[in-house]
Structure 1
């Protein structure tokens, strides 16, 4: 079968151009010397200096970073536990309800999720702020982690765990020494996905926020409503750079881990 097709090449080119040309334009205009974001007036880094002089913007970025780190970490732990339950426990009582509750945030509109969480926080008289945003982000990012980790557990060779336990390794030690290192790339991918979703969220955070807890997307949205400022291009470029570096570093570490595991398996096979 012929795999090369000009239709496929043109379709991919147009698709990537549609996705990445606007981002490239944003990055280029973040170095625009003029305040008018639609007219190029030369190269300058003045808007990056303005970003680091804007205390409100820095505070919003710091809140977003803290929420992302805490929510992604907790969501990764809970999502991994949920994936293990769905992949290992078989058809336990209440599995259908449990799976539905895990997957519901994937298809639930963010407005409904945000409004329901707002009603919950009001009903229990929980002061809205940093922790309510964090809990809200844990709620809707945990399901993404569960899906990613469960897809890795489906093809997991359980004979490795059985061999470890036959040699006297306890179940907990088997998980941390055998299972977790093997599924670690999926766990890291789930964490990065949860962290990215937390950084990007606007709707749910708008419902769950309170005084003194403004996230960066909320700050950018409130500023853009009054007109796009060049500082917005600069801060968006910084976010793109940070995420790109994190993805590259995670990819390198994952690839290195896979290479080391392959070497260890070859050495064990040669020794056997």
Structure 2
């Protein structure tokens, strides 16, 4: 299992939510249980789900309620792939830029609102060893089971930084020595392998709208993915994976 990157001492900036969140799926629930910063309330599980969780590691002290698969379907929705486990939690703490000391590789999302995409980007960023994912306080998804399931545990392994002013955040990252690399399907330059050791912020916009003009103007470079086929753009989570590969392959 990937070691999480949460700062050991810094207290994160929190974003309160009115209602608890249900996380579901074995990988997602295990990562939440292993995150010392996560506040959980009750584990809802089938007997088989509980056995599989125990096989993956010891369980902390918490309240456990036995449920049937039908009970979980009713609670989470018929489309939720829960694998027999669900964990009721408080929303994860969101960090500020000042809470994470080492930022060498980050992904910055400019008003990406789809929880499936944000979750998938968290998972990919964690897999490629990124230090954090940055989102805006507005026009970003709240924590839900869908987002957490798409992240496959990464929500509890990599800091999710929330900023109120993305322009100021990009200036902050540049002051810390990161190159802000913006992506746009119509940018003049192509994405190329980056020099080894270069500190990089990969800046991605929402599908359809792309990066806002202010965000584009603050990027050090604007690039596009080389698409020889008839389709010239990708889902934002796929673009993030290609960009992270190019950033780390050198």
More strand by share: 2
TM-score over 0.5 (shorter chain): no
More helix by share: 1
Instruction: Kindly indicate whether structure 1 or structure 2 has the higher relative contact order, using CA contacts under 8 Å at least 6 residues apart.
Output: 1
For normalisation by structure 2, the TM-score amounts to 0.22
For normalisation by structure 1, the TM-score amounts to 0.21
Of structures 1 and 2, the larger Rg is shown by 1
